[in-house]
Structure 1
Amino acid sequence: MNPHAEPPASLQGMFRTLWVHRQLIARMSQREVIGRYRGSALGLVWSFLTPLFMLAIYTFVFSVVFKARWGAGEESRTQFAIVLFAGLIVHALFAEVINRAPQLVLGNVNYVKKVVFPLEILPVVQLVAAVFHGLVSVAVLLVAKFFFMGSVPMTALFFPLVILPLLILILGLSWALASLGVFARDVGQTIGLITSVMLFMSPVFFPVESLPASLQPWMRLNPLTFIIEQVRAVLVWGHEPHWSGLLLYAIIAVAVAWLGFAWFQKTRKGFADVL
Structure 2
Amino acid sequence: MSQIETIWAHRPLVVNFAQRELKARYRRSLLGWLWSLINPLTTIMIYSLVFSVFLRAQAPPAGDGSNVFALYLFSGLVVWALFAAMVNGPMDWLQNVADLLRKIQFPADAAIFGGAASAVVQSLIEAGILLAIMIGIGNVSWAMLTLPYVMLCAMLVGLGIGFFVSIANAYFRDVRYLVGVVLNIVFFLVPIVYPPSIIPEEHWGLPLLDLMELNPMFHFIEASRDAVYFGDVSWGRLAFIGAVSVTVFLAGWTFFVRKSVDIAEEL
Contact 1:14 1:258 in 2 (8 A): no
Q: 2:145 aligned to 143, 152, 157, which one?
A: 157
Summarize the alignment of residues 111-130 of structure 1 with structure 2, pairs less than 5 Å apart. Answer: 111-130=100-119
Aligned counterparts of 2:265 and 2:109: Cα–Cα separation in 1: 18
Aligned pair 1:253/2:245, yes or no? yes
Task: Provide closer, same or farther for how the CA distance between residues 38 and 269 of structure 1 changes in structure 2, counting only shifts above 3 A.
Answer: same
Aligned pair 1:67/2:60, yes or no? no
Contact 1:154 1:238 in 2 (8 A): yes
Deviation at 1:93, TM superposition (A): 1.3
Q: 1:217 aligned to 210, 216, 225, which one?
A: 210
Summarize the alignment of residues 139-218 of structure 1 with structure 2, pairs less than 5 Å apart. Answer: 139-147=128-136, 149-213=137-201, 214-218=207-211
Q: 1:238 aligned to 207, 227, 231, which one?
A: 231
CA root-mean-square deviation: 2.3
Deviation at 1:252, TM superposition (A): 2.9
Tell me the SS of whatever aligns to 2:57: coil
Aligned counterparts of 1:41 and 1:227: Cα–Cα separation in 2: 35
Deviation at 1:209, TM superposition (A): 4.4
What is the aligned residue count? 260
Aligned counterparts of 1:199 and 1:113: Cα–Cα separation in 2: 37
Q: 1:81 aligned to 70, 89, 93, which one?
A: 70
Aligned counterparts of 2:143 and 2:238: Cα–Cα separation in 1: 15
Partner of 1:50: 39
Tell me the SS of whatever aligns to 2:192: coil
Moved over 6 A (4+): none
Q: Aligned partner of 1:259: which letter? A: A
Partner of 1:226: 219
Deviation at 1:157, TM superposition (A): 1.8
TM-score (norm 1): 0.85
Aligned counterparts of 1:221 and 1:234: Cα–Cα separation in 2: 21
Structure 2 alignment gaps of length 5 or more = 202-206
Aligned counterparts of 1:55 and 1:43: Cα–Cα separation in 2: 20
Contact 2:169 2:175 in 1 (8 A): yes
Task: Provide closer, same or farther for how the CA distance between residues 249 and 72 of structure 1 changes in structure 2, counting only shifts above 3 A.
Answer: closer
Contact 1:162 1:231 in 2 (8 A): yes
Contact 1:123 1:178 in 2 (8 A): no
Deviation at 1:72, TM superposition (A): 8.2
Tell me the SS of whatever aligns to 1:205: coil
Offset from partner CA, 1:4-32 (integer Å, 9 cap, x none):
xxxx7xxxx34334433333323321331
Aligned counterparts of 1:256 and 1:17: Cα–Cα separation in 2: 20
Deviation at 1:177, TM superposition (A): 1.2
Task: Provide closer, same or farther for how the CA distance between residues 160 and 192 of structure 1 changes in structure 2, counting only shifts above 3 A.
Answer: same
Deviation at 1:143, TM superposition (A): 2.3
Summarize the alignment of residues 88-99 of structure 1 with structure 2, pairs less than 5 Å apart. Answer: 88-99=77-88
Aligned counterparts of 1:172 and 1:49: Cα–Cα separation in 2: 29
Contact 1:155 1:238 in 2 (8 A): yes
TM-score (norm 2): 0.88
Structure 1 alignment gaps of length 5 or more = 1-7
Q: Aligned partner of 1:255: which letter? A: T
Contact 1:103 1:181 in 2 (8 A): no
Aligned counterparts of 1:178 and 1:238: Cα–Cα separation in 2: 37
Q: Percent identity?
A: 30
Q: Aligned partner of 1:207: which letter? A: P
Contact 2:88 2:179 in 1 (8 A): yes
Q: Aligned partner of 2:119: which letter? A: A
Task: Provide closer, same or farther for how the CA distance between residues 261 and 67 of structure 1 changes in structure 2, counting only shifts above 3 A.
Answer: same
Offset from partner CA, 1:235-255 (integer Å, 9 cap, x none):
111112x22332233223222
Aligned pair 1:264/2:256, yes or no? yes
Deviation at 1:190, TM superposition (A): 0.1
